[in-house]
């Protein structure tokens, strides 16, 4: 654990450094669009936010702020700090992301079991077709298709904004389509492989019911690969929510991140990048530990028998 935490801290340091200097290399600045302001006023604003300091001094000052868990003020949202924006936006993103992960896991597992237990039948061919669509169609295209049919044509769901459970339906569906396709194909492959193993044939010969075979012999052997995929799944859903939240005008961190790039809001870009990097590292570490606990064949260095 200590070794992994040290690696995560070093990775976070490189992420902060790389993001900071790449961001500063972009043309323009957070107040470059304010061309109507007199030069003296612009100079005062830049002095207030220390944008006229040497680049290396800005970098060192920002590292000192990060050490105090202070992400600084937002340049484009007056009287709001980056910490406040994350506190208000992340619960919205987490709600959509958690629902999409749950949806993808449950329905992906069910679809993969149905297809894997009877491969090459009608259900399996439908799964292959649907998963191919899920792999191929980008999330923003799928969002537009759902908005067109479910909102403008049928009028059964709101097209955008946030405020009720109905507003979350389409974003959750869009975010879960790709991971659902991956999980269902992964489960299908694992089930086909497991069904050919000798212990399954022996269990059938002993007269065990299908429910017992599924619960005690099939599921324990197909779940570890799915758990391994949870880390990349969470990363894909939470980073994919950037575009989806912007399309559906959802006030989550993804929407703030996209607008912060347009506005060159340096502190907000850095703050959301740091927050999501730490969050995804923690989720990957947690998934590794859970996988090691569930699969006795896995032994990480330093773990005793």
- Mean pLDDT per 10-residue run, the chain (305 residues)? 84 90 78 68 76 85 88 82 88 88 88 83 82 82 88 86 86 88 86 83 82 81 78 74 83 83 84 87 79 62 51
Range of the domain at 239: 85-261
Residue 32 located in a structural domain: no
| CA–CA dist 12, 274 (Å, integer) | 7
CATH of the domain at 211: 1.10.3720.10
Residue 148 located in a structural domain: yes
Residue 5 located in a structural domain: no
pLDDT at 214: 81
Altogether, the residues listed in the chain come to a count of 305
pLDDT at 302: 53
pLDDT at 14: 92
Nearest to 266 by CA among 85, 88, 23: 23
Residue pair 72/147 in contact (Cβ under 8 Å)? The answer is no
Residue 39 located in a structural domain: no
Number of domains in the chain: 1
Residue 123 located in a structural domain: yes
Placement of tokens 């910490």 in the chain: 83
As a three-state string, the secondary structure of the chain is: CHHHHHHHHHHHHHHHHHHHHHHHHCCCCCCCCCCCCCHHHHHHHHHHCCCCCCHHHHHHHHHHHHHCCCCCECCCCCCCEHHHHHHHHHHHHHHHHHHHHHHHHHHHHHHHHHHHHCCCCHHHHHHHHHHHHHHHCCHHHHHHHHHHHHHHHCCCCCCCCCCCHHHHHHHHHHHHHHHHHHHHHHHHHHHHHHHCCHHHHHHHHCCCCHHHHHHHHHHHHHHHHHHHHHHHHHHHHHHHHHHHHHHCCCCCHHHHHHHHHHHCCHHHHHHHHHHHHHHHHHHHHHHHHHHHHHCCCCCCCCCCC
pLDDT at 305: 47
pLDDT at 164: 84
Residue 10 located in a structural domain: no
Residue pair 249/57 in contact (Cβ under 8 Å)? The answer is no
Residue 190 located in a structural domain: yes
Residue 26 located in a structural domain: no
């Amino acid at each position: 654990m200590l070794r992994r935490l040290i690696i995560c801290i070093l990775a976070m340091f490189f992420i902060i450094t790389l993001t900071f200097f790449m961001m500063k290399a972009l043309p323009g600045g957070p107040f470059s669009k304010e061309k109507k302001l007199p030069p003296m006023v612009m100079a005062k604003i830049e002095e207030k936010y220390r944008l006229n300091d040497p680049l290396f001094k800005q970098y060192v000052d920002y590292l000192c702020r990060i050490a105090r868990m202070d992400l600084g003020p937002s340049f484009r949202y007056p009287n709001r700090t980056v910490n406040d924006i994350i506190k208000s936006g992340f619960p919205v993103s987490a709600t959509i992301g958690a629902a999409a992960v749950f949806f993808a896991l449950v329905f992906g597992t069910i679809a993969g079991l149905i297809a894997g237990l009877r491969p090459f039948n009608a259900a399996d061919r439908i799964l292959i077709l649907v998963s191919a669509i899920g792999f191929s169609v980008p999330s923003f295209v799928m969002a537009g298709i759902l908005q067109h049919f479910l909102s403008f044509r049928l009028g059964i769901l709101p097209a955008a904004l946030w405020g009720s459970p109905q507003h979350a339906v389409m974003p959750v569906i869009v975010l879960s389509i790709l991971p659902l396709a991956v999980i269902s194909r992964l489960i299908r492959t694992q089930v086909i492989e497991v069904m050919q193993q000798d212990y399954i044939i022996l269990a059938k010969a002993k007269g065990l019911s299908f429910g017992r075979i599924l619960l005690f012999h099939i599921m324990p052997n197909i779940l570890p690969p799915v758990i391994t995929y949870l880390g990349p799944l969470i990363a894909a859903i939470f980073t994919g929510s950037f575009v989806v939240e912007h399309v559906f005008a959802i006030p989550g961190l993804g929407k703030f991140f996209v607008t912060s790039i347009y506005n060159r809001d340096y502190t907000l870009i850095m703050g959301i990048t740091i927050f999501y990097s730490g969050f995804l590292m923690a989720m990957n570490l947690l998934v590794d530990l859970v996988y090691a606990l569930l699969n006795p064949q896995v032994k990480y260095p330093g773990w005793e028998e």
